[in-house]
Amino acid sequence: MNASTATETRGRAPAGHTTDWREDFRARWAAEARAVAEERPGVPGPFWALAATDWGQAAALAAALGARHVGVWGDLPASSAGNTQEISALAVYAGFERAGQYLFVHTIVPLTQPELPSQARIYPGIARLERHAQDLLGLRFVDHPDGRRWTRHNAWPAERFPLRPEFPRGGEPSGRARADADYPFAPILGAGVYEIPVGPIHAGIIEPGHFRFQAAGEEVLRLEERLGYVHRGVENWPSGARRTDWRGWRRESVATPPSPTLGPLVRRSSVP
């Protein structure tokens, strides 16, 4: 199934399918014994545990059943709650919805080979979410339509991932980050084509952002933007922190184990 075909079917039940699209999903995966359904309190839909190799096929099936993608995010496995010293894997989640009916899938990938098939070929709108997870968690999405870095602006090395548990909560002093002059903007070649770089610093109060205009004469052929300059990867810092670590909060110790329930990319990579 290509992306255009999947897009046409989303939001309505394809012919021959039940009203609750999740039952069709369940029938397909349960019949092939390729996934296990889980119930999670507080989550508005069933959770399906998938093999990593089935990640892309699950998205293709959801698209064929008319569901939209609601987010992809990563976290620590539920079994690691309270113990971040021996983390050997990451949990990855995705959500789908049609007519208010939600379904979630998740899988586990080892840190030694944190790879998954990209779902962006089927749902183009999540391409940047996968790139965000790539930069902050070190997840690699195979066959991604655009595998360039997105959030990392030379503020930390390519082999370091701020939202992994081993990354220091206080960050790593790096001094002044060097200019990001080697970012591979998509080029447009041809006679008379020129580029106009704008930002990331603007004469106003808007968030820093770099905008690369490519034009021929007065016609703008392409505009590519880079945001996230003020993203500091702070989601990892509050995990397990004491309230006394937060300016003047009461002296109470609160355990904040990683939550693998709902919250698209809230802790580890966030939905825009």
- Joined together, the tokens standing for residue 38 give 């889980």
Mean pLDDT of the region 39-50: 82
Query: pLDDT at position 32, please?
Result: 64
Which of 84-98, 111-125, 167-181, 247-261 is the most confident on average? Answer: 111-125
Q: In the chain, which residues fall in CATH 3.30.460.80?
A: 3-170+237-245
Query: pLDDT at position 27, please?
Result: 85
CB proximity list for 61: less than 8 A, separation 6 or greater = 25, 28, 29
Q: Are 246 and 169 in contact (CB under 8 A)?
A: no
How far, in Å, are 26, 39, 94, 213 from residue 19 at the CA level? 13, 21, 22, 46
3-state secondary structure 156-217: CCCCCCCCCCCCCCCCCCCCCCCCCCCCCCCCCCCCCEEEEEECCCCCCCCCCCEEEEEEEC
Eight-class DSSP state of 150: S
- Whether the upstream peptide bond of residue 145 has omega within 30° of 0, thus cis, is no
- Joined together, the tokens standing for residue 53 give 């190799």
DSSP E strand boundaries for the chain? 35-38, 47-50, 68-75, 89-98, 101-110, 115-117, 140-142, 193-198, 210-216, 219-226
Find tokens 């019949």 and name the residue: 31
Ranges 155-169, 214-228, 241-255: which has the least confidence:
241-255
Q: Are 136 and 153 in contact (CB under 8 A)?
A: no
Query: pLDDT at position 93, please?
Result: 93
- With 0.85 as the threshold, say if the pTM is over it: no
Question: Quick one: CATH architecture of 3-170+237-245?
Answer: 2-Layer Sandwich (3.30)
Q: What pLDDT digit, counting tens, does each position of 162-188 carry?
A: 888 788 777 777 677 777 778 888 888
Amino acid at 86: E
| Distance, CA of 209 to CA of 197 (rounded, Å) | 11
Mean pLDDT of the region 193-218: 88
Eight-class DSSP state of 245: G
Query: pLDDT at position 270, please?
Result: 34
Q: What pLDDT digit, counting tens, does each position of 9-42 carry?
A: 455 555 555 588 999 988 887 766 566 767 777 7
